[in-house]
């Protein structure tokens, strides 16, 4: 009855019948109280968005899965300290973090939320090593600005490791000998696929029953390196290459191998709770295997390539981390540590000199067919893993570069994607974001629009899109976007950001502020909402509050350079020039390519009277982005302050060609002419300035 109930609960969960699942599970727990059932009930509660219920029933449980579920419920209820305590108890520093990669990821997120960046980074790296396909961990590392190169994270060795895991997991599940052969050959094929085709040919050429045991060796070695806790004796089973047409192992030896196979598969996935379970099983297999080995030896003359295999095992063991091209060392016999000596011992007594392949006609063809089929399956698996990792490599690299604000490079990387992947919401939003950082709002607009059209329900990048429209002064489209987003999801912070931007564009700062505050309420970990609130307070001249909100944004995400910029502007207005310079510099350090930031930094330096540096900064800004007229204007302003009138005029003349319709430019020219006492030109310039309709404040100044 218990299994029946568990099965029903699982199927209810799968089909989203949460209340049904909860009811059944509660009956299950009442009837068969066990921690696994309690975990299942907690899972049901979490699916049904009732983390408090899960919290209540899991409090105090010690099993790793329970601890993970408890930590998740604490996290959802915002009880970060308890979550952390569960995942990583202070009193027991050696306790493993439960649930492997995801546990580390959760712990990393908690550390990030509580401000411990380096610890968070450590946890994310750990999570990524344990499970290279955990994209979120890599994403978090990028956001923290310290992700490694994707070539290292999603490299060949991770591909191999993944393959190992994926082919081993079936063996774990079906731990009875029922499908030994299949397992065996899957191992074989997996290993074979590790090797490049030319190496397989080499195998063929050697006409030896290749020991594909080395893939077992390799991953185990890898795992040994990765996991500090695997202290299991690394018995490597030489496994026959059933796929090799040239050699098929006889059934008894098959079973032999399989026994060890299981042991290996038990080792291979690290940090899986089944580890503990596997230990006793393994020993049993080993004993059986030994028996069988002996019997096999008695009844089979082959044990053929076993010595060769073992040697090859050693070879490959040493080459464990390198790419497969190093395979082929044939019996060079360097030992790779004590773990393989065991194998030596095991097999030395089996060494018989024959190198002919084993041939027992009976089971051979049958095995061969089955093995071939499975080889095909697993070759697909290996190929699939490689493809996935390739995709991750491109996406990861693009994301990493855009987080480091190297936007041009990021764009190039994204363009390498196949069209089907490129035309998806996420990628297009990232591309749009990259253009946004490059201050190329038109392109950004184009891409964001495409993204929104292709997947109207992706809300993630829409807050940036609304900012782009704000910059482009597109009132209509911005209000349309805002309406749409609200109708899609009233409870998403991005939608309210868009609405706020809409009001901000009309200079209705109070309503904009209200909307941004709503956005903050909906998700207090959304840094951009805080920054936008800060901007609005700043526009309302409420500097205290704006500083407060900018600081909140920085608490959430220290690399949010908009917040640093905002603080700089506030201090500039308050004439605290030192502070302003410091904050602009921090923003500049995070995003060193933005010409606008350089411009502001120059302005701050100018206010501090460090004119040389200011001019240098302006030059840099001008060089960084030819289309940005502002640095030139600022440069002219600085030169005016230094009383270098002619140079200032030259600068402004150059500027006139780029932006001929800017009233402030003519006003400045007029001012300079007035200083130089060339009054007719001054009047002329002021006249043009007036024609271009400046706001009233300027009118007063211009009309002197």
Partner 1 sequence: MESDAEEAAAAGAPGAGRLKGSPELTVDADMREMAKTAAWSVSSCKAGNGVAALRDDNLDTYWQSDGAQPHLVSIQFQKKVQLQLVVLYVDFKLDESYTPSKISIRAGDGFHNLKEIKTVELAKPVGWVHISLSGADPLETFIHTFMLQIAILSNHLNGRDTHIRQIKIYGPRPNPVPAQPFHFTSREFMTYSTIR
Residues making contact with partner 1 (CB under 8 A): 439, 441, 467, 470-473, 507, 532, 535, 539, 541, 562, 565, 569, 572-573, 594-597, 599, 603, 607, 627-630, 633, 637, 658-659, 661-664, 667-668, 671, 692-701, 703-704
Q: How far apart are CA 571 and CA 558, in angstroms?
A: 19
Q: Which is nearer to partner 1, 214 or 441 (CB)?
A: 441
Nearest CA to 588 out of 620, 556, 552, 629 is that of 620
Q: Which is nearer to partner 1, 419 or 544 (CB)?
A: 544
Residue 478 C-beta: closest distance to partner 1, Å = 12
Q: Which is nearer to partner 1, 80 or 472 (CB)?
A: 472
Residue 569 C-beta: closest distance to partner 1, Å = 6
Residue 437 C-beta: closest distance to partner 1, Å = 10
Q: Which is nearer to partner 1, 218 or 535 (CB)?
A: 535
Nearest CA to 263 out of 242, 239, 241, 243 is that of 239
Q: How far apart are CA 413 and CA 396, in angstroms?
A: 9
Residue 550 C-beta: closest distance to partner 1, Å = 12
**Alpha carbon distances (Å) from 510 to 154, 214, 440, 514:** 48, 68, 29, 6
Residue 221 C-beta: closest distance to partner 1, Å = 50
Q: Which is nearer to partner 1, 285 or 447 (CB)?
A: 447
Q: How far apart are CA 172 and CA 267, in angstroms?
A: 10
All residues at 6 or more sequence positions from 508 whose CB lies less than 8 Å from its CB, including other chains: none
Q: Which residues of 481-520 are buried (b: 16+ CB within 10 A; e: fewer)?
A: bbeebeeeeeebbbbbbbbbbbbbbeeebeebbbbbbbbb
Residue 647 C-beta: closest distance to partner 1, Å = 18
Nearest CA to 522 out of 555, 541, 500, 504 is that of 500
Residue 679 C-beta: closest distance to partner 1, Å = 17
Check: CB of residue 150 under 8 Å from CB of residue 160. no
Residue 451 C-beta: closest distance to partner 1, Å = 19
Check: CB of residue 74 under 8 Å from CB of residue 67. no
Q: Which ranges in 407-474 belong to alpha helices (H)? A: 407-415, 419-422, 425-437, 441-454, 462-471
Q: Which is nearer to partner 1, 361 or 442 (CB)?
A: 442
All residues at 6 or more sequence positions from 482 whose CB lies less than 8 Å from its CB, including other chains: 466, 495, 498, 499, 501, 502
Residue 442 C-beta: closest distance to partner 1, Å = 10
Q: Which is nearer to partner 1, 267 or 445 (CB)?
A: 445
Nearest CA to 645 out of 633, 637, 654 is that of 637
Residue 497 C-beta: closest distance to partner 1, Å = 11
Q: Which is nearer to partner 1, 138 or 633 (CB)?
A: 633
Check: CB of residue 58 under 8 Å from CB of residue 73. yes
Q: Which is nearer to partner 1, 378 or 662 (CB)?
A: 662
Q: Which is nearer to partner 1, 214 or 633 (CB)?
A: 633
How many helices and strands, by DSSP H and E, does the chain display?
Answer: 38, 0
Check: CB of residue 698 under 8 Å from CB of residue 664. yes
Q: Which is nearer to partner 1, 96 or 619 (CB)?
A: 619
Residue 377 C-beta: closest distance to partner 1, Å = 53
Q: How far apart are CA 213 and CA 145, in angstroms?
A: 40
Q: Which is nearer to partner 1, 109 or 499 (CB)?
A: 499
Residue 471 C-beta: closest distance to partner 1, Å = 5
Residue 530 C-beta: closest distance to partner 1, Å = 13
Q: Which is nearer to partner 1, 90 or 696 (CB)?
A: 696
Nearest CA to 261 out of 275, 292, 282, 231 is that of 282
Q: Which is nearer to partner 1, 231 or 473 (CB)?
A: 473
Q: Which is nearer to partner 1, 105 or 686 (CB)?
A: 686
Residue 562 C-beta: closest distance to partner 1, Å = 6
Q: Which ranges in 300-360 belong to alpha helices (H)? A: 306-318, 338-348
**Alpha carbon distances (Å) from 130 to 66, 102, 173, 366, 600:** 20, 9, 20, 37, 44
Residue 687 C-beta: closest distance to partner 1, Å = 14
Give the other-Cβ count within 10 Å of 27's Cβ: 12
Q: Which ranges in 227-250 belong to alpha helices (H)? A: none
Q: Which residues of 297-315 are buried (b: 16+ CB within 10 A; e: fewer)?
A: beebebbbbbbbbbbbbbb
Nearest CA to 688 out of 703, 671, 667 is that of 667
Check: CB of residue 288 under 8 Å from CB of residue 237. no
Residue 17 C-beta: closest distance to partner 1, Å = 45
Q: How far apart are CA 397 and CA 404, in angstroms?
A: 11
Q: Count of alpha carbons within 13 Å of 31, Cβ hemisphere only? A: 12
Q: How far apart are CA 645 and CA 636, in angstroms?
A: 9
Q: How far apart are CA 350 and CA 329, in angstroms?
A: 21
Could you give the angle at the alpha carbon of 435 between the alpha carbons of 430 and 440, nearest 5°? Answer: 160
Q: Which is nearer to partner 1, 96 or 698 (CB)?
A: 698
Q: Which is nearer to partner 1, 8 or 582 (CB)?
A: 582
Residue 544 C-beta: closest distance to partner 1, Å = 12
């Amino acid at each position: 009855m218990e299994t029946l109930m568990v099965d029903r609960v699982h199927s209810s969960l799968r089909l989203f019948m949460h209340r049904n699942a909860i009811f059944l599970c509660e009956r299950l727990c009442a009837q068969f109280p066990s921690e696994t059932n309690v975990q299942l009930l907690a899972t049901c509660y979490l699916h049904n968005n009732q983390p408090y219920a899960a919290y209540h029933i899991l409090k105090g449980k010690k099993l790793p899965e329970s601890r993970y579920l408890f930590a998740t419920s604490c996290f959802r209820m915002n009880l970060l300290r308890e979550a952390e305590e569960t995942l990583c108890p202070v009193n027991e520093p050696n306790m493993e973090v439960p649930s492997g990669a995801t546990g580390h990821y959760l712990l990393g997120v908690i550390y990030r939320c509580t401000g411990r960046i380096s610890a968070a980074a450590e946890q994310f790296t750990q999570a990524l090593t344990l499970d290279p396909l955990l994209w979120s961990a890599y994403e978090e590392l990028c956001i923290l600005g310290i992700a490694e190169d994707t070539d290292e994270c999603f490299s060949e060795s991770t591909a191999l490791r993944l393959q190992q895991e994926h082919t081993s997991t079936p063996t774990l599940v079906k731990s009875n000998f029922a499908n030994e052969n299949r397992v065996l050959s899957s191992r074989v094929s997996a290993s074979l696929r590790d090797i490049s085709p030319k190496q397989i040919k080499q195998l063929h050429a050697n006409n030896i029953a290749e020991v594909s045991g080395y893939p077992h060796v390799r991953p185990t070695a890898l795992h040994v390196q990765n996991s500090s806790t695997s202290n299991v004796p690394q018995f490597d089973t030489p496994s026959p290459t059933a796929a090799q047409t040239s050699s098929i192992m006889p059934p008894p030896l098959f079973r032999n191998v399989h026994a060890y196979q299981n042991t290996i598969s038990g080792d291979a996935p690290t940090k899986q709770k089944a580890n503990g379970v596997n230990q006793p099983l393994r020993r049993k297999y080993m004993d059986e295997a030994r028996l069988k080995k002996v019997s096999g030896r008695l009844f089979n003359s082959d044990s053929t390539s076993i010595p060769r295999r073992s040697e090859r095992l050693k070879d490959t063991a040493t080459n464990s981390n390198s790419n497969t091209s190093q395979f082929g060392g044939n019996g060079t016999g360097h030992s790779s540590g004590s773990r393989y000596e065991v194998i030596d011992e095991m097999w030395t007594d089996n060494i018989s000199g024959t190198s002919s392949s084993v041939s027992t006609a009976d089971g051979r063809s049958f095995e061969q067919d089955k093995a071939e089929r499975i080889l095909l399956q697993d070759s697909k698996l290996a190929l699939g893993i490689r493809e996935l990792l390739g995709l991750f490599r491109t996406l990861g690299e693009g994301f990493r570069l855009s987080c480091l604000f190297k936007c041009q490079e990021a764009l190039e990387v994204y363009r390498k994607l196949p069209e089907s992947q490129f035309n998806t919401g996420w990628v297009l939003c990232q591309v749009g974001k990259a253009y946004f950082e490059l201050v190329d709002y038109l392109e950004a607009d184009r891409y964001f629009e495409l993204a929104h059209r292709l997947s109207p329900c992706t809300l993630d990048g829409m807050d940036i899109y609304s900012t782009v429209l704000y910059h482009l002064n597109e009132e209509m489209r911005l209000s349309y976007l805002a309406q749409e987003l609200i109708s899609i999801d009233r409870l998403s912070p991005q939608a309210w950001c868009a609405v706020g931007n809409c009001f901000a564009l009309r200079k209705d700062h109070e309503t904009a502020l209200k909307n941004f505050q709503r956005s903050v309420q909906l998700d207090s970990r959304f840094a951009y909402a805080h920054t936008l609130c800060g901007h609005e307070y700043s526009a309302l001249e409420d500097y205290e509050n704006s500083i407060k909100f900018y600081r909140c944004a920085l608490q959430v995400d220290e690399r949010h350079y908009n917040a640093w910029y905002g603080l700089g502007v506030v201090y500039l207005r308050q004439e605290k020039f030192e502070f302003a310079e410091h904050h602009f510099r921090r923003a500049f350090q995070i995003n060193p390519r933005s010409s606008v930031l350089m411009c502001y930094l120059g302005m701050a330096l100018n206010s501090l009277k460090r004119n040389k540096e200011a001019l240098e900064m302006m030059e840099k800004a001008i060089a960084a982005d030819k289309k940005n007229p502002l640095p030139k204007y600022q440069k002219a302003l600085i030169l005016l302050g230094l009383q270098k009138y002619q140079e200032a005029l030259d600068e402004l003349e150059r500027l006139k060609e780029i932006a001929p319709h800017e009233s402030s430019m003519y006003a400045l020219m007029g001012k300079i002419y007035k200083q130089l006492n060339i009054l007719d030109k001054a009047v002329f310039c002021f006249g043009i300035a007036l024609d271009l309709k400046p706001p009233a404040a300027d009118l007063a100044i211009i009309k002197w």
